[in-house]
Amino acid sequence: MSVPPTQADLRRAEAATWGPRTAAEPPSPPAAIANNLHSIQKNTLKAVVDIAVPKWHLKFPECMWHEKNGKQWIRFSNREWTDRQGTKKYENLVEFNRETAPGFQAVALAAVKVLAGAGAQ
């Protein structure tokens, strides 16, 4: 059984692949395109939508658009599983690091709002 890499290991591998990040060059949020919006309106869930990030050549299918108390956010698809006690659990299939997540949330929400006709407010 292998040991999962530490954050330091991941940072070293990232720097070896892409070069080190400098404080003067924070990661810029990617432009996102939303399509295939399906309104749900159940609890905090407003809709399910596909989000593409052309710069990364990635598509995130079936993202969930949530809203509660005036706050909105995007969640990625997750995998449901049952633990040994029979309790349903959910595991995220995609996660961003702390530096990238806010930028992605901003552009993804803007893209979803444009598609939904709510404007990029």
Query: Bridge-partner residues for 23, per DSSP?
Result: none
Band (27; pLDDT cuts 50, 70, 90): low
pLDDT of res. 28: 57
pLDDT in tens, 48-93: 999 999 888 899 999 999 999 999 999 998 899 999 999 999 898 8
Contacts (Cβ under 8 Å, ≥6 apart) of 60: 50, 51, 52, 53, 76, 77, 94
Report the 10 Å Cβ neighbour count for 47.
20
The pLDDT score that the predictor gives to residue 120 is 43
Considering the chain, what is the average pLDDT of its residues? 85
Average of pLDDT values for 23-33? 66
> Per the confidence metrics, is the pTM higher than 0.75?
no
CATH architecture of 28-116: 2-Layer Sandwich (3.30)
